[in-house]
Amino acid sequence: MDPIDYSINEADMITPMQSGAALTADIRQTQVAPGQVAIWWLGQSGYAIKTASTLFYVDLYLSEHLTNKYATTAKPHVRITHAPLRGTDVPDVKYVFSSHKHSDHMDPGTLPDLFAQNPEAKLILPQVNAKHAQLLGIPVDNLITTTGDETLQIGPIKVHVLPSAHPTFEYDEDSGYTFIGFVFEVDGVTLYHSGDTIIYDGLAERLRAFDVDLAFLPINGSDSRRHELHVPPNMDIDDALNLAADIGQPLIVPHHYDMFTFNTVDVQQFIQAADAADAPYRVLQCGEKFIFTAG
């Protein structure tokens, strides 16, 4: 493969709509009614999610861990968007969900600091990743593990854990699925966070059972170059739109773009395709708050 320049000028990097103390204050102060959910996109697949009774986080990547790790390789992880927070800044942490071990979903540069600041917090993750989490310094008592095909009660949140395929299930009889997604039922709202996944036979059927109001779906897809670099594929734009249509047309919030120069997609392509399909969606800027009311 010929080398590609994945660099980006500092002036061209995306500045979050809110960051630092302003963002933490907004998360803390926002009031949410039953039947509503407030969400803040924190980059890549990471969100703060607040309902009438709880606040939780999913798939946080708030560091430059991967940028440093892959700086001299054929796939340098050059950030497109500045991090809106650091692990030490994440407010009021009780529950953090991690869909799989990849560092942009289970960040060695975020989680140790976060749990040092929030020693009572719980990390909900695939059982197969429990030892990895402990190696990051997260005590076993802070872990809630899942085999990836079950329903858990996490505080006020009923969590249906579903397998994800990235691109395969990587199932183990003892520890369950390596890649998972979450259906959250809480305070009158049902949310699906896919983690990283492609569409697989049976996914739509599983999701139809939950009457999903809002779906966080990846759109970065894949291409021949990323395939040569052994980058696992995700849903692309058409996949996300088709899955949403197949499960009853929830509001789509796209994710997994505008993080790394070598593995992203132009979100304007999603907007054009969603408009053409007359699909409901909300595209967020990093650090932006959106309050959704289930209807």
Indicate if the pLDDT at residue 220 is higher than 90: yes
Note the pLDDT of residue 4. 85
Taking the C-alpha atoms of residue 106 and residue 180, their distance in angstroms, rounded to an integer, is 13
Note the pLDDT of residue 159. 98
- Whose tokens are 């691109």? That residue is 167
Q: Which helix (H) or strand (E) holds 69?
A: helix 65-69
Give 135-164 pLDDT, tens digit per residue: 999 999 999 999 999 999 999 999 999 999
Residue 133 corresponds to which tokens in the numbers above?
């989490």
Confirm whether pTM is higher than 0.95: yes
Taking the C-alpha atoms of residue 265 and residue 219, their distance in angstroms, rounded to an integer, is 7
Taking the C-alpha atoms of residue 96 and residue 48, their distance in angstroms, rounded to an integer, is 9
More confident residue, 173 or 256: 256
Note the pLDDT of residue 295. 84
Give 48-66 pLDDT, tens digit per residue: 999 999 999 999 999 999 9
Q: Can you tell me the mean pLDDT for 259-279?
A: 98
Indicate if the pLDDT at residue 1 is higher than 60: no
Q: What confidence category does residue 29 fall into, taking pLDDT thresholds of 50, 70 and 90?
A: very high
Q: Enumerate the domain spans of the chain.
A: 10-293
What CATH topology corresponds to 10-293?
A: Metallo-beta-lactamase; Chain A (3.60.15)
Give 158-210 pLDDT, tens digit per residue: 999 999 999 999 999 999 999 999 999 999 999 999 999 999 999 999 999 99
CA-based Rg of the chain, rounded to a whole angstrom? 18
Does residue 203 sit in helix, strand or coil?
helix
Q: Can you tell me the mean pLDDT for 74-80?
A: 95
